[in-house]
A and B are shown apart, each in its own frame.
Chain A
Amino acid sequence: MADSVLEMRGIKKSFHGVKALSDVNLTVAAAEIHAIVGENGAGKSTLMKVLSGVFPYGDYEGEISFLGEECRFKGISDSEKKGIIIIHQELALVPLLSIAENIFLGNEQAHYGIIDWNTAYRKTQALLKKVGLRESPAALITNLGVGKQQLIEIAKALSKEVKLLILDEPTASLNETDSDALLELLLELKRQGIACILISHKLNEIAKVADTITVLRDGATVASLDCRQEPISENRVIKYMVGREMADRYPKRIPNVGEKVFEVVDWKVHHEMHADRLVIKGVNLHVNRGEIVGIAGLMGAGRTELAMSIFGRSYGQGTSGKVLLHGKEIDTGTVQKAIDHGIAYVTEDRKGFGLVLEETIAWNTTLANLEAVSSYAVIDEGREFGAAEQYRRKLNIRSPNVFARAVNLSGGNQQKVVLSKWLFSNPEVLILDEPTRGIDVGAKYEIYTIIAQLASEGKCVLMISSEMPELLGMCDRIYVLNEGRFVAEFSAADASQEKIMHSIVTSGGN
């Protein structure tokens, strides 16, 4: 290909004898959006680290040529000099510095070490305009939402005369509106001739913007699909990713819904910091035995706040309302009380709130219910091992034994450990907050199967998700939360993405 900007040929890389990349070929054409997809562990991040020089030349096998030149990067600064800029999933901005300071961090507009703030602000303004962000260059990063921060990362890349922009899961923590804005910006950059590599799990977004899709599996390129000729169906991409046909993305289940078990009445929660701000404004909900109930809503609608405030007042202050179990009011004032009443909350942030990463699977599994494996406060290691092993098998956690440390597991397996922990506390009501965030298609299906299984065992499942197809595929009933209120409720048969979005949009601003 004559007009290719980047060619990577026969890239191989291994860690301590374990192959991460066995043979990757990647060609990115000029001014195209090139999507890279693959399951977790397929080698996407490793490949990008090779490309950006995190792994220096010599650390891997194969050739990289950029703009027709053979490249041997020794570090990130080498690749940045060439105009290859990577934006990681975890944003690398300094929260308490201003936009302008962040954009020119390490590249200050200075003469003899003295910063020329006028130039910096002027240039920042121009860059912000380019990315479509109306903020003062002096605004602090910490006051901006994740979506805006992402745009600032892109502005920062533009300040370095980027020729190839790499985005690693840029929309993972963005809501739909922000995601759309970001994708729109990518298309705009493409028109200006900037090539872009987009790593994402969200196939619908890729379908919107990508010109080419490269699929990685087990550290090798399995397909490179040209979307300009004909639209590529999601199922086809998934088939390449998992190496098999994914007939159904959600397990079949026959709902067996019983009587009303769990009920929350007139729930009101105030903001954790600002006591006068009502975050949840009087929510009523109920979950029946064996039912999976979804909560849809945009980022910031108050979904996590609602769940965590119910679970032992873990969020917010001045909380009021009633929680009922089997028609009787229960006290969920502390996490321990909530657990004792059979409520479990599986967090959306498994690394931050779910796991003690340095510890083992067994250790994490029993953490919320240590009493069950101990007598007189002395832990019986045999019982602990038995319990953890049982859940390892039941949930199919891929690890040789339960003594593997959580930090070494993939996202999907970590999520299963968090689930194990809560299943081991023997709950009647499970609140799942984004149960499949950031995990790959195959692991998602397994999580769905577990959720379906729990419902069939008669548990009540309350499932929060940003992915509407997931809610539509799994739930018997869906509440729509917007700005701290339920604005609609749909049965599975009635619900559709359009209806949910419509209810959110029409309720806005009230």
Chain B
Amino acid sequence: MATETTAIKAEEPKVGSGFLKNNLREYGLLISLIVIMVFFQVMTNGTLFQPLNLTNLILQNSYIIVMALGMLLVIVSGHIDLSVGSVSGFIGACAAVLMVEYHVNFVLATVICLAAGAVIGAAQGYWIAFFKVPSFIVTLAGMLIFKGLALAVLQGSSVGPFPAEFQLLSTGFIPDPFGGETLRVTSLAVGILMALVLLIVKVRSRADRAKHGMENEPYVFFMLKNIVLAGMIAAFSYQLSSYRGLPNVLIVMLLLMFAYDFMTSKTTIGRRIYALGGNEKAARLSGIKTERLTFYTFINMGVLAALAGLIFAARLNTATPKAGLGFELDVIAACFIGGASASGGVGKVLGAVIGAFIMGVMNNGMSIMGIGIDYQQVIKGLVLLAAVCLDVYNKNK
């Protein structure tokens, strides 16, 4: 009898080094992002964190992050979606045709586009969830179909420009009634408020967990991690405020990020998606409607791909047949760098976001440094491989 316990004792988290060892992945990710940022900050002689570049960095990566939120759910549920790039391009094209050629009101057009994204997600999810066609194949087909449809809708040419209100989605900044010339006060205040709220929420939820004896993260790590995070948010918003303030799209992105983080970690539907990916048969026998859940994750992915398509189109102020090309690769890479498992059941929203930022900072930093697009891809590929190898190594240890 005594033997049964021995195997578990080894797993018991020890304070300090033991904890760090068991959670290396989570901290490692955040540390890698910081290291990469510092590296490029030095290599680019401080260009990386300049207010203008920081703003660009966010605008450039917003659509990847939006899609990564949906992709994470798809990957956690044990599937993959290769079509997101084409879908976002197709939706961007639809938006352009609606707004530019048919003069549809931009709000209505946005709603139509998001609904179209949902329909596309449902159309693909239907085969995957109910007919058990492998998602790789269905979405590979979707990738071709929507790439083709985007071309057809645009008739091979670029369509633009968009109405000014619509462009604000990507190029607008939150209003600043105080009219600070050198510093956007509202933006700074919002940023600092966010940092404070984050700290307070984390501290309170920790206290709540500690009350039930559920907390095992050493206090030092906990504070260090969150102070670094909050500090980063505050510092970034200061930098952004000294340019034009917080971009609208950043607010959209942050809201989505918090919503998805909450959904995956605290709600029953999030829990069920992890169960579905972790062990589908066990999930089904526990009363989880696995097929419907898979279907929903693809609808969700479709809507987010559509939103990303709109953001991208608004940013370029034109819809081109090439929009969305290769986005799926960046999105999927972001999820895997962020610690998601290809076999499903594992992955975190914040991981995927950090993964997307790692890719984004590398793209941006290497471009500033003048590294050609050729070697940029080689380096990004190597980083992806290294991150996943590290995961596998950690798991087998």
Contact = CB atoms under 8 A, between A and B. Distances in A.
B10 A17 contact: yes
Contact of B3 (A219, A370, A403, A405): A219
B209 A41 contact: no
A61 B370 CA distance: 57
B2 A218 contact: yes
Contacts, number: 134
B120 to A, nearest CB: 26
Nearest to B289: A336
A398 B285 CA distance: 25
A135 to B, nearest CB: 30
Interface stretch (A189-197, A277-285, A288-296, A377-385): A377-385
B278 interface: yes
A374 B286 CA distance: 16
Contacts of B289: 334, 336
B345 A386 contact: no
Contacts of B216: 403
Interface in A39-95: 39-43
A18 B5 CA distance: 11
Contacts of A339: 287
Interface residues of A, number: 60
Most chain A CB within 10 A, of B7, B213, B275, B346, is at: B7
A355 B268 contact: no
Interface string A302-320: 0000000001101000000
Interface in A354-376: 354-359, 363, 367-368, 370-371, 374
A356 B3 contact: no
Interface in B206-236: 208-209, 211-214, 216
A242 interface: yes
A140 to B, nearest CB: 23
Given A356-B275, A377-B267, A40 B4 contact: yes
Contacts of B288: 335, 367
A410 interface: yes
B392 to A, nearest CB: 14
A398 B266 contact: no
Contact of A356 (B12, B266, B283): B283
A442 interface: yes
Interface string B264-275: 001111011011
Interface in B10-35: 10-12
Most chain A CB within 10 A, of B1, B2, B213, B278, is at: B1
Given A335-B286, A382-B208, A403 B214 contact: yes
A368 B208 CA distance: 25
Given A368-B287, A400-B9, A404-B11, A374 B268 contact: yes
B214 A42 contact: no
A370 B6 contact: no
A400 B282 CA distance: 25
A42 B3 contact: yes
A309 B285 CA distance: 11
A375 to B, nearest CB: 10
Nearest to A355: B282
Contacts of A412: 4
Interface in A14-32: 15-19
Interface in A401-424: 401, 403-405, 408-410, 412-413, 421
Contacts of B269: 377
B3 to A, nearest CB: 4
A413 B4 contact: yes
Contact of B1 (A242, A338, A355, A400): A242
A347 interface: yes
A353 interface: yes
Contacts of B132: none
A443 B267 CA distance: 34
A399 B287 CA distance: 27
A421 B208 contact: no
5 contacts: A41-B7, A339-B287, A356-B283, A379-B271, A381-B209
Given A353-B281, A378-B266, A443-B4, 11 more contacts: A18-B9, A217-B3, A314-B284, A352-B282, A354-B285, A355-B282, A367-B286, A379-B266, A382-B212, A400-B12, A403-B216
Interface of A: 15-19, 39-43, 217-219, 242, 311-312, 314, 334-336, 338-339, 345, 347, 352-359, 363, 367-368, 370-371, 374, 377-379, 381-382, 385-386, 398-401, 403-405, 408-410, 412-413, 421, 442-443
